[in-house]
Amino acid sequence: MKLLEKYFLPSDYFKEFQGITPQYLKERGIRAVIIDLDNTLVGFDEPSASETVLKWFRTMKDNGIKVTIVSNGSRVRVSEFSDPHDIEYIFRARKPLARSYRKAVHMMGMDSSETVMIGDQLLTDVFGANRAGLKSILVLPVKDKDGWATVVNRRIERIIMKYFDRKGLIQWGD
């Protein structure tokens, strides 16, 4: 069971990405963020960034925090979301493989120790970040509805989260 904790336990967790502030990151020595797109920033079926998402990106940039989207989504999906706002990205990342995480760290000119991955899935975002030697933050999905490929992952995640809850390793609070 130690392997579950090593690979699937996030470094921290928030109910939503907006709760992650530059101050919070800087206090932990974080200068760069890798963030998932679908169901982390917007619903998987939402093509554009909301004003809330854009404000969060501006706040990060204004505070010297670099941000790159790393998504398993297609080039069209990720570029149509990112390009209008000049947001760096990696598409078809093949998470949880560590290669795209390392590539994003390199693109931002950062070190793994000062980079965190933010995402809504244990089996892709957190697992991949932990394997790549990054800190990881789990957020709740912005929508209850998932793409077909994620449905099976969510079932497995519920089992792992119940284990973490029984062990007292994650308490979401109110």
Per DSSP, the residues of 63-97 read TT-EEEEE-SS-HHHHHHHHGGGT-EEE-S--TTS
In a domain, 174, yes or no: no
Query: What's this model's pTM, rounded to 2 decimal places?
Result: 0.93
| 171 within some domain | no
The sign of the torsion formed by the CA atoms of 25, 162, 36, 124 equals positive
Residue 173 within a domain: no
**In what helix (H) or strand (E) does residue 117 lie, and over which residues does it extend?**
strand 115-119
Residue pLDDT, tens place only, 87-138:
999 999 999 999 999 999 999 999 999 999 999 999 999 999 999 999 999 9
Instruction: State yes or no: pLDDT of 144 exceeds 80.
Output: no
How many independent structural domains does the chain possess? 1
In single-letter form, the type of residue at position 66 comes to K
Rounded CA gap, 23 and 28, in Å? 9
Residue 78 falls within a domain, yes or no? yes
pLDDT, position 115: 98
Residue 84 backbone phi and psi in degrees, to 5: -60, -20
Q: What pLDDT, on a 0 to 100 scale, did the predictor assign at position 174?
A: 42
Q: Is residue 112 part of a domain?
A: yes
For residue 36, give its domain range.
2-166
pLDDT tens-digit map of 19-75: 999 999 999 999 999 999 999 999 988 889 999 999 999 999 999 999 999 999 999
The answer to whether residues 153 and 159 touch, using CB atoms and an 8 Å cutoff, is no
The answer to whether position 27 is within a domain reads: yes
Q: Is 156 inside a domain boundary?
A: yes
Q: What is the CATH number for 87?
A: 3.40.50.1000
